[in-house]
């Protein structure tokens, strides 16, 4: 009996996660004016003189951004699946894809999400970032002091601390120490090629590149670990060929700094795409850094060439709390149609990097190996594409749309991507 008890304990330990866990949740795009009888051609809003319409869904519609019900459901299901995360990475975009809103609208949306996360996870450290829509107007982040930076700091100061104040007020970025690592939390929205702000220092807006390089150099000298967290990653939108995010000079600068300090940077975590994808950054032919993009809570449909909607999702990152090596990355989701039919349905595990991609480790090398397999294995590429839209689309892209996916993963730098798209990708086993 005693030996049986020991065996049961041992079996339980084997099947449990002997690791730390982090929640990443992103891209709420909360729309307070969503109406379940609204017009799907007008952001699912309802005007006073609109004719009667059919129910388009209490929890949302694939054409539109998130109603309050979906955001609350997502956060509660995150709590159900990971009650006590080590910390939370909340990676931006809380304002919907509408136009004409003002500063107060942005702050109210940020306050809604901040209060919701704080009340649901009252004792958990939260590390927040701006998304490109978290400004008025959208895509107008300045590289100097502004009311939105100041008012948002007041919302987040209990999380990010007083040491972050100067850089946050200057450009919406900061660094934050946690355990034996430092998080470099960047406002890459400043580099967005649709950013309309009149930058005072176009070469290095808000001195953020200098801050990034100085922090990494200091960490290198002290043999410390750095994680880079931001909303927009360098590179190209994988679903829409040649659709770039950053100004070319800023994209290259970001890539150059990352290459120089690749040995210091452990995690690179992003959002913005709404889809589930990754980039592998190489030094020559050697994979040296992995960039992960988390799928969104919003189901808003992108009308870009190759664009799509997605089912709502969040991510749980499991890691060794000494080395910060990933031990697994798990994506949880709900089918929006099913949620609208049954509000009590639980979000479930969509997939595990380790189990469903058959990985023994998760790093730049193993994900590059996965990429090379995807190039020649149609079933594996189909599997990736299902995850890419969180099960929304079953279509497999062909021609340039397929090439755009593969080139985006392999080349976060624009010259490499352009060459890949021109010449066609090759297997480099």
Domain limits, the chain:
19-423
Q: What is the pTM of this model?
A: 0.94
Give the pair of three-digit tokens for residue 143.
Answer: 């590289």
Alpha helices in 304-348 (DSSP H): 336-341
CA 305 to chain CA mean position, Å = 21
- How many Cα atoms are found within 13 Å in the side-chain-facing hemisphere of 344? 0
pLDDT score, position 18:
64
373: left (phi over 0), alpha (psi -120 to 50) or beta: alpha
pLDDT score, position 12:
40
Q: Does domain 19-423 have CATH number 3.60.21.10?
A: yes
Check the CA dihedral 40-42-44-49 and report its sign. Answer: negative
| pLDDT tens by residue, the chain, 429 residues | 444 444 444 434 433 556 899 999 999 999 999 999 999 999 999 998 888 899 999 999 999 999 999 999 999 999 999 999 999 999 999 999 999 999 999 999 999 999 999 999 999 999 999 999 999 999 999 999 999 999 999 999 999 999 999 999 999 999 999 999 999 999 999 999 999 999 999 999 999 999 999 999 999 999 999 999 999 999 999 999 999 999 999 999 999 999 999 999 999 999 999 999 999 999 999 999 999 999 999 999 998 888 889 999 999 999 999 999 999 999 999 999 999 999 999 999 999 999 999 999 999 999 999 999 999 999 999 999 999 999 998 788 999 999 999 999 999 999 999 999 999 854 443
**Cα–Cα distance measured from residue 23 to residue 127, given in angstroms and rounded to the nearest whole number:** 10
Give the pair of three-digit tokens for residue 416.
Answer: 């490499």
Which residue's entry shows tokens 């190039």?
Answer: 375
Alpha helices in 333-377 (DSSP H): 336-341, 353-356, 364-376
Which residue, 311, 348, 312, is CA-closest to 332? Answer: 348
Give the pair of three-digit tokens for residue 261.
Answer: 């300090």
What are the strands of the beta sheet with 87-90, ordered from one edge? 125-128, 87-90, 20-25, 313-319, 326-333, 348-352
- The answer to whether the beta carbons of residues 293 and 273 sit under 8 Å apart is yes
**Cα–Cα distance measured from residue 55 to residue 57, given in angstroms and rounded to the nearest whole number:** 6
CA distances 170 to 13, 35, 43, 148, 202, Å, are 47, 37, 33, 11, 14
């Amino acid at each position: 009996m005693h030996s049986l008890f020991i065996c049961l304990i041992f079996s339980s330990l084997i099947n449990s996660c002997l690791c730390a866990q982090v929640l990443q949740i992103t891209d709420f795009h909360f729309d307070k004016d969503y109406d379940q009888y609204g017009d799907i051609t007008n952001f699912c809003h309802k005007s006073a003189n609109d004719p009667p319409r059919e129910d388009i869904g209490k929890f949302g519609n694939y054409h539109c951004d998130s109603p309050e019900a979906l955001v609350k459901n997502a956060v509660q299901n995150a709590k159900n699946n990971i009650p006590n995360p080590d910390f939370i990475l909340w990676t931006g975009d809380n304002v919907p894809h509408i136009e004409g809103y003002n500063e107060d609208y942005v702050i109210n949306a940020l306050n809604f999400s901040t209060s919701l996360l704080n009340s649901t996870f009252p004792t958990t450290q939260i590390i927040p970032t701006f998304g490109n829509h978290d400004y008025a107007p959208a895509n107008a982040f300045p590289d100097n002091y502004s009311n939105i930076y100041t008012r948002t700091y007041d919302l987040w100061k209990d999380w990010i601390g007083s040491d972050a104040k100067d850089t946050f007020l200057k450009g919406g970025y900061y660094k934050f120490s946690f355990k034996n690592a430092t998080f470099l939390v960047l406002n890459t929205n400043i580099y967005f090629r649709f950013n309309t702000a009149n930058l005072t220092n176009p070469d290095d807006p808000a001195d953020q590149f200098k801050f990034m390089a100085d922090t990494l150099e200091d960490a290198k000298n002290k043999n410390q670990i750095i994680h880079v967290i931001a909303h927009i990653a360098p590179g190209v939108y994988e679903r829409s060929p040649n659709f770039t995010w950053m100004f070319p000079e800023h994209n290259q600068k970001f890539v150059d700094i990352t290459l120089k300090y690749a040995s210091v940077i452990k995690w690179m975590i992003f959002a913005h795409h709404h889809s589930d994808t990754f980039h592998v950054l190489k030094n020559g032919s050697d994979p040296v850094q992995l960039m992960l993009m988390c799928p969104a809570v919003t189901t808003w449909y992108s009308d870009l060439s190759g664009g799509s909607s997605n089912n709502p999702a969040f991510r749980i990152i499991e890691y060794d709390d000494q080395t910060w090596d990933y031990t697994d990355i798990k994506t949880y989701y709900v089918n929006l149609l099913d949620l609208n039919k049954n509000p009590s349905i639980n979000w479930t595990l969509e997939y595990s990097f380790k189990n469903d991609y058959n990985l023994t480790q998760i790093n730049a090398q193993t994900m590059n190996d996965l990429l090379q397999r995807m190039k020649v294995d149609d079933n594996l590429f189909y599997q990736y594409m299902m995850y890419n839209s969180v099960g929304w689309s079953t279509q497999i892209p062909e021609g340039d749309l397929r090439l755009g996916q593969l080139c985006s993963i392999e080349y976060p730098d624009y010259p490499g991507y352009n060459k890949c798209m021109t010449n066609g990708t090759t297997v480099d086993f």
